[in-house]
Amino acid sequence: MKQKIILRVISKFLIPYILLFALYVQWHGDFGPGGGFQAGVIFAAGFILYAIIFGVDTVRVVIPAVVTRLLLVFGVLLYSGVGVAGIILGGNYLDYNVLAHEPTHGQHYGILLVELGVGITVASAMITIFCTFAGRGPEDPEEEV
């Protein structure tokens, strides 16, 4: 699809807004519909659109495979780490009340970090899955299965 100039130009217009909308959904999830899961998917959709139009190899220049794999782990660790931080600060696992002086502030920080962890994991998981699928190309009949 590299030769379709309309798709190339339009997608270049769209992708920044997709990523911006994903960030809005991520950080605004406390107040409106949305949250880490949806934001992660939308964020990944921006990259996947880019991969469909410009090819998987081009996306891998923007965000190399190592980076998505590290982020994949980082998101899960961030979520779990918030839980462990609750234990260290004297509460139960995933108890956000102890994260700040005010319980509601602690809840706020905890939810923000946890949602960020979910968003990072989901986004990098989706990008990883798509790129591994699409990066294979049609199966070579000579190759072993």
Partner 1 sequence: MGMIAIAIARIHNLFAVVMLTGIFSLLGAAAYVIMDAVDVAFTEAAVGAGISTVLMLGTLALTTSEEKPSPKKNVVGALIVVTITGAVLIYGTLDMPHYGDPLAPVHQHVADRYIGQSGTEVGLPNVVTSVLASYRGYDTLGETYVIFIAAIGVLAILGRVRFPRRREEDIAEDDAQKTPDETARETGA
Contact call for residues 124 and 132 (beta carbons, < 8 A):
no
Report in angstroms how near the CB of residue 61 gets to partner 1 at its nearest.
Answer: 17
Among residue numbers 124 through 143, which ones bind partner 1 (CB under 8 A)?
124-126, 128-130, 132-134, 136-139, 143
Contact call for residues 80 and 94 (beta carbons, < 8 A):
no
Report in angstroms how near the CB of residue 133 gets to partner 1 at its nearest.
Answer: 4
Closest by CA to 120, choosing from 26, 47, 10, 56, is 26
Asked if 75 interacts with partner 1 (CB under 8 A), we say yes
What does the per-residue mask of binding to partner 1 show for 84-123, with x meaning CB under 8 A? ----------x-x------xx--xx-xx--xx-xx--xx-
